[in-house]
Structure 1
């Protein structure tokens, strides 16, 4: 029933990106994209779902960002549509608690989208599977995949070999420049400045260079190396090269511990109000109070109550709508208990007179 309205929402190339680590994520194992992916949804939800489906990874997927891009729907309509897409199994909002490789922690929020509608049990199993994910390894694999794809770009198939050309006559070779000494070699070369008795020959520096390179690879600094090789020496030195080798081997720093980033905890939160499921039970990703609002929204539409879906930013003259009273009317239309409305005080009403919204 919504097929005719899908193209109006496509494509979504200019949608703003979320903050790094946030935004849209695609759920795994989805079926290929088809013309009737969202035919089971109402027109509004189908159009917004088709738009989200084509949004790149990491784009902002909140109702405000959607309303700013979709002129046909305001913030209220987009927010309710996200609730209904969660109810239909296409969306879940998930908070991940990360322990990073520098031993700091932070929460990130992703909205996972599935073109294929999923049952609530599938989403809960998916959330459980995220706990303990090694983010360091995942990032390494992503970089490797990007490098592989970049390498494939230059592969254009078989190339006909060029005809052979006579080998050019090489000009006389210039004298080869000596390679610059490594940091390890220079550190050994400078030992004699800190302790003249530890002055090493060029041959000794070259022979000990690989050991010093291992020190530096394990995080040692030139100052650390110099102290280790020059402090506490015996009164008489017969072979500074032998003493340097013994100390380099016996005092070798340990291999550095590679801290890894991983997902410490995972919490599913309500798509409408972000309340976590360990605070308020969620059904299909929606909490009890937001589900009541969904029921009121449905009842209002069935009763023919016009729900403003165009934001004021798209109007020449902003609509004068009492949002709290309109929400109360929707709840009443659904037979739900009305929430108490705060009455404006004398100072809050222009001119000092109490007014009634119509």
Structure 2
């Protein structure tokens, strides 16, 4: 009876599948209808990652969209310290499982967006096969400036055939952009003076607006906003202002919070625009430029202080240096404008 009970105790459980070998791991799998994560063996069995990096990668893959995976949040979840978790994240970045991108919100705040790649090798192969495809989500990029529409010359008047079915406006006349035309009129000149994108000051104006974020991060503009504000900066350049003067006018005395950088800069460009400088006399050939009259050359004279020394006096009756030093209160005063121009010796 005792031997029979011992054999029953050593009998394996009927609910567990026996392994084909006598060593190693035996998997006990159960069907899971929800709350599970698919992890590839390329990550779970990666020979170049540490155990901490693999565990953090699996944890990140199991989180929902929008969950916080920064170092502070992971430190609160795991018992490892900040240095060890930061090292594990760097390992995952080097292997391509994690990508951290700095992104600026419309409010001007900088955030770090983390992209977790479930299969980096497959993603890399798909991008190389179709480089024109855009993954969603993707890091934000600055839109490239659109090419300017080609301006065609209107046909001769004798060959123009009016369209009687439409209104009285000529269909060949291009309509100006409402926003740019209104800004140019308020800036103090006609809309056509700002010129096309290839004008003299247009490229310099766009470069100035795009580089304002280097001076103050609150003045970051998009490509569309730079193109719309460029004619206003061109008006400053045409009125004789330099690049340093425009930057000082736009960045001096900024408020603590700039909610709409484009609107703020537009108001400053319109309200603080100085008038154009008047032409100098003689610049148009009507007369010579005004010059300051030259001082009369000093002539030889005799000191009137009593020493009868000969020296170059700037005005009649001047004293020499020794007499002025000996009797400072009695020396005559030089006429206005002469003492400042010529040094009495």
Same-fold call, TM cutoff 0.5: no
Q: Could you say which structure has the greater relative contact order, defined with CA pairs below 8 angstroms and 6 or more residues apart?
A: 1
Of structures 1 and 2, the larger Rg is shown by 2
Instruction: Report which of the two has the higher share of helix.
Output: 1
Q: TM-score, normalised by structure 1?
A: 0.23
Length-normalised TM-score, structure 2 = 0.24
